[in-house]
Chain A
Amino acid sequence: DQQVKQNSPSLSVQEGRISILNCDYTNSMFDYFLWYKKYPAEGPTFLISISSIKDKNEDGRFTVFLNKSAKHLSLHIVPSQPGDSAVYFCAASGTSGTYKYIFGTGTRLKVLA
């Protein structure tokens, strides 16, 4: 049972436009969410996070939105650049104990020049 779902395996966006990557979760105990970015042949790198006490967090071109009632979060990249082409994973964790991240399956973003 996939507790964290990224239903779009891939997304193509024109350079300069907005990229919106979506993530849904089922466990209401999750209260901390992260996005990781992964280039081919490299490990994932941390991009941005959000705690459930917020509904938005911004870092430069990247904004994460959290809708707790819908159990949905999204990552917005504005403007999209060719260097943003990568696989994006969302991950969730909760305060049920010590660390335990659950990762989504990833969305491959391609930004077209």
Chain B
Amino acid sequence: NAGVTQTPKFQVLKTGQSMTLQCAQDMNHNSMYWYRQDPGMGLRLIYYSASEGTTDKGEVPNGYNVSRLNKREFSLRLESAAPSQTSVYFCASSETTWYQETQYFGPGTRLLVL
């Protein structure tokens, strides 16, 4: 039982390049989330998916797109990377979006945009 896995662990991009961050969970959770963490700031929600086939914007969605490929997988895409997107990205999952649900986080992807 791996929990939440993320690939890659680390990535360097040039401004304007695109990439997709992958996330998978094996806990049969319905809900999945993408956060970013920046120095001096808490984790901020980018997008979330309450269930397979649905996605919704979070606090900071601009510059990102997501795909809930199936129940297990939720990917985050940067179409044209910008230096402001340099951050650590965390994927998380929970059984539902009920506000008292515990979220389980992946190990993170560290992204540097030059």
Please list the residues of chain A having a beta carbon within 8 angstroms of any beta carbon in chain B. 2, 4, 32, 34, 36, 41-46, 49, 51, 89, 91, 93-95, 98-106
Contact = CB atoms under 8 A, between A and B. Distances in A.
30 contacts: A4-B42, A32-B99, A32-B100, A34-B102, A36-B105, A41-B107, A41-B108, A43-B92, A43-B105, A43-B108, A44-B43, A45-B105, A46-B104, A51-B100, A91-B42, A91-B43, A93-B100, A98-B50, A99-B31, A99-B48, A99-B50, A99-B94, A99-B97, A99-B99, A99-B101, A100-B99, A101-B45, A102-B42, A103-B42, A105-B40
B77 interface: no
A6 to B, nearest CB: 8
Contact of A103 (B31, B40, B44, B108): B44
A82 to B, nearest CB: 22
Nearest to B90: A43
Given A45-B105, A94-B99, A99-B101, A89 B31 contact: no
Interface of B: 4, 31, 40-45, 48, 50, 90, 92, 94, 97-108
Contact of A89 (B43, B45, B102, B104): B43
A51 B99 CA distance: 11
Contacts of A36: 105
Given A42-B107, A43-B108, A103 B43 contact: yes
Contacts of A44: 43, 90, 105
Contacts of B92: 43
A104 B98 CA distance: 20
A106 B42 CA distance: 7
B33 to A, nearest CB: 8
A99 to B, nearest CB: 4
Contacts of A104: 42
B42 A43 contact: no
Contacts of A46: 102-104
A105 B42 contact: yes
A99 B90 CA distance: 17
B100 A98 contact: no
